[in-house]
Amino acid sequence: ADVISTVEFNQTGDLLATGDKGGRVVIFQRETEEAGEVGDSGEYNVYSTFQSHEPDFDYLKSLEIEEKINKIRWLPQQNAAHFLLSTNDKTVKLWKVSERDKRPEGYNLKDEEGRIKDVSTITSLRVPVLKPTDLMVEVRPRRVFANGHTYHINSISVNSDGETYLSADDLRINMWHLDITDRSFNIVDIKPANMEDLTEVITAAEFHPHHCHLFVYSSSKGTLRLCDMRASALCDRHTKLFEEPEDPGSRSFFSEIISSVSDVKFSHSGRYLLTRDYLTAKVWDLNMDKGPVETYQVHEYLRSKLCSLYENDCIFDKFECVWNSSDSVIMTGAYNSFFRMFDRETGRGVTLEAWRENSKPRAVLRTRRVYTGGKRRRGDVGVDSLDFTKKILHMAWHPEENIIAIAATNNLYIFQDRVNPDAQTQ
Amino acid sequence: MFPKGTKRKFSDSGEEAVCGGGGGGDQGPSAAPAPSPAAARTLSSSYSLQRQSLLDMSLIKLQLCHMLVEPNLCRSVLIANTVRQIQEEMTQDGTWQIMTQALAAAQCPADRLVATEVLCRQTEAAAAAAQAGQSPKPFSVSGLEEGYHSEEVVMDGDAEAEVAMSSLSPVSPQLSSASYLAGPFGMGPCWEDDEEDADCDEDEEEDSEECASEGEDAERHHLRADSRTGEQVFGTFEIKHPAPPPDPALEELFSDVDPSYYDLDTVLTGMQSTPKMGPYDLLESLSSHGPTALSSSATCRSDLNELDHIMEIIVGS
């Protein structure tokens, strides 16, 4: 139940939220730099922990509703408090995270412990004053957006307008207003009239970072659809369809499964899309729908193992992918606690490991390699000795600096690039 | 269809033939649809063995819905698409006809009927188990009967369907493949039936803005779903004789068995020899096949006991 299921930085990068399978959310806060204390600055410490979702039961279908947090998204900060959306399979919740470091003292009618005073003992009036107290972080649920989805929610995305957000399940995408919980607009519905005809589901969705009328959603068939909400109320017809023509030479029974897109992310610039399917990560230009502009092989050595990976269900693992702050580097996870980073300018990829035994705090991460033939180097890992239970599915990149957060089952790793804060980690 | 041992041995060596897409181009019959796909595919038996094992694996995956939580729809859809793809290929090869005919021919009438019943029972037991889960509801049991009766109607009254199905010629691959297609969906009743509810809501023109709010029609819909899946799976098999009147003992025997116990192979092959197997016999035959795909027979037994206990409570004995 401690398995981390989502990781997300807020817009400034000062806060990092993680959600787990047990429905808990843990928020980390970056320590601000103290004068002269360069060594400890920039570390993330626990700021608050709260139970976001509880296990639920659908009495009509006699099925449990998992409390696992599927996604967390922060709202842009508007005042002293922070707001985040967290969702499980069925319900989205808006949480307010606020600090309290003062409390009123000197009530007339209550004594210090809060008991009501006997009125006859009051001889004078005074004005209560605010006195500083220990910092308390309060987290309160502000909105509960329930009953919007029949199927399992896989994505939420806050719109750039700051007022709406979308939530996507396997067959439908709804748009909500942050203040209204009893109504949502259905903007995409791909459910066929006859469920027997169902061959494609929605796997991820995201709003454009700058254009509040555009959003993209990906499907299990490897297609991306860009939709413009100005065109019609129900965006069943895409504005643009991004699809890579299939290579007939490499067709197998697993072609469709490995083409299923597990995650889609707009670049910070809004010009590109990053997608992840089972074996590759692809960068698409919004202006070109004929195919990706860049394709990165994450673990091509698994292509010959697809049958076994189908048997043990690993082929259905959903890996996330992220951009760095300048859109020059992309990162995604793999097996054996490995994760990969690709430099878009050079096209080079590097494999890193998130595993406690092999790294001490503040040690430099060394690159790893999976042995696929040729000269074997020391430290290379053979394909057959990869641990498929150690999967890096969830990760996040700080919005401005080279700090990454990697979730490895129930551990969270935070890596920082101190040498070159503005360039890729070595 | 094929003994388990043989399958396993082949799968290690010949894996790349079917499974390896880009890398396995030079190993045996390539999966790549080269110039003459039909010719390329009617080739080695290892390829068709692999394809068959992939088909069986996929069908088992579809059946093994975890009853407690709704199964992942994306995964189910992808597996179903794989099954469909294999099926289409086998239909083009003509091996599909051979398989269904072998099925039909190899079994004597009573057995064939029971096999039909078993598979139908499977879907309804699955549906019942899906609805029942850990807290069984009365309507699921009656749903069983309702579905069974409607099967009967189709069997006796639908002479046309009988004729069409008994002449499983290459001309009508669509029919059998389409109905078999329905099979896996019928066998994966978890999300099928859920959708039924939502679907029916819309059909009945209730407020379908938020489909999650299903009304009191849910019960009827479950029954409808059961009878539908019963019909679909039923349509797969050749009917030579009308059904005997419903055997309540047989119904009860199968109604409390979790579908995860059914290995498709065992059903198709095991049923030939001993048609009137009980659920416990089925488990024996499963384990007697050696290391099987279902490695959880131990947990199946405890689940079986649990289900037994629950059924006792319902029946009130």
The answer, for A231 touching chain B at a CB cutoff of 8 Å, is: no
The residues pairing with A19 across neighbouring beta strands, listed in sequence order, are A6, A25
- B107 falls in which pLDDT band (50, 70, 90)? low
CB contacts of B214 in chain A (<8 Å) are 60
| A168-188: pLDDT as tens digits | 999 999 999 999 999 999 999
- Mean of pLDDT values over B277-290: 41
- Mean of pLDDT values over B5-12: 40
- Mean of pLDDT values over B94-123: 57
Sign of the torsion angle spanned by Cα atoms B103, B104, B105, B109: positive
Interface of A with B in 69-98 (CB under 8 A): 89-90
| B296-311: pLDDT as tens digits | 445 556 667 777 777 7
- Mean of pLDDT values over B89-97: 82
**Residues contacting residue B107 through CB under 8 Å, at least 6 positions apart:** B115, B271, B272
The mean pLDDT value of chain A amounts to 91
Residue A369's pLDDT is what? 87
CB contacts of A150 in chain B (<8 Å) are 194, 198, 211-212
Give domain limits for chain B: 40-126
Q: How distant, in Å, are the alpha carbons of A120, A212, A272, A395 from that of A264?
A: 68, 17, 10, 13
B12, closest residue in chain A (CA to CA): A308
Q: Is the distance from CB of A281 to CB of A330 less than 8 angstroms?
A: yes
Alpha-carbon gap, residue B147 to B160, rounded angstroms: 20
Residue B11's pLDDT is what? 39
Interface confidence (ipTM) of the complex: 0.90
A259, closest residue in chain B (CA to CA): B78
The answer, for A196 touching chain B at a CB cutoff of 8 Å, is: yes
Q: How far is CA A60 from the centre of its chain?
A: 31
**pLDDT(A424) > 90:** no
Residue B103's pLDDT is what? 67
**pLDDT(B81) > 80:** yes
Q: Is the distance from CB of A273 to CB of A216 less than 8 angstroms?
A: yes
Helix or strand (DSSP H, E) at A164? strand A164-169
Q: How distant, in Å, are the alpha carbons of A397, B63, B68, B297 from that of B261?
A: 46, 10, 16, 8
Residue A46 structure tokens: 């626990």
Q: How far is CA B187 from the centre of its chain?
A: 4
Residue A192's pLDDT is what? 95
State phi, psi for B238 to the nearest 5 degrees: -70, 135
| A99-142: pLDDT as tens digits | 998 988 888 888 878 788 888 888 889 999 999 988 899 999 99
The answer, for A12 touching chain B at a CB cutoff of 8 Å, is: no
Inspect the interface and report whether the beta carbons of B70 and A306 lie closer than 8 Å. Answer: no
| B32-69: pLDDT as tens digits | 444 454 444 455 788 888 899 999 999 988 887 656 67
CB contacts of A89 in chain B (<8 Å) are 70
Mutate to test the interface with B, among A5, A56, A61 (most CBs of B within 10 A): A61
| A325-376: pLDDT as tens digits | 999 999 999 999 999 999 999 999 999 999 876 666 767 777 888 888 888 8
- Mean of pLDDT values over A200-204: 97
Percent of chain A scored above 90 by pLDDT? 73
Residue B308's pLDDT is what? 76
Percent of chain A scored above 70 by pLDDT? 94
**When comparing pLDDT for A424 and A155, which is higher?**
A155
**pLDDT(B257) > 80:** no
Residue B125's pLDDT is what? 38
**pLDDT(B279) > 60:** no
Mutate to test the interface with B, among A21, A174, A307 (most CBs of B within 10 A): A307
**pLDDT(B97) > 80:** no
Residue B259's pLDDT is what? 46
| B196-255: pLDDT as tens digits | 444 433 343 334 333 333 333 444 444 343 444 433 333 333 333 444 444 555 555 545
Distance from the Cα of B110 to chain A's closest Cα (Å) equals 31
pTM over 0.80: no
The answer, for A63 touching chain B at a CB cutoff of 8 Å, is: yes
Distance from the Cα of B137 to chain A's closest Cα (Å) equals 9
Distance from the Cα of B212 to chain A's closest Cα (Å) equals 5
For A402-407, the CB contacts below 8 A with 24+ separation are: A402/A324, A402/A325, A403/A13, A403/A42, A404/A322, A404/A331, A405/A7, A405/A9, A405/A16, A405/A18, A406/A7, A406/A333, A406/A339, A406/A354, A407/A4, A407/A5, A407/A6, A407/A7, A407/A18
- A298 falls in which pLDDT band (50, 70, 90)? very high
Choose among A249, A250, A307: nearest Cβ to B19. A307
Residue whose pair of structure tokens reads 């494999």 in the numeric block? A351
CB contacts of A307 in chain B (<8 Å) are 11, 15, 18-20, 54
Residue whose pair of structure tokens reads 């239970």 in the numeric block? A389
- Mean of pLDDT values over B180-187: 40
Residue A169's pLDDT is what? 97
Q: Which letter does DSSP use for residue B172 in this model?
A: -
Q: Which letter does DSSP use for residue A64 in this model?
A: E
**pLDDT(A416) > 70:** yes
Alpha-carbon gap, residue B250 to B234, rounded angstroms: 17
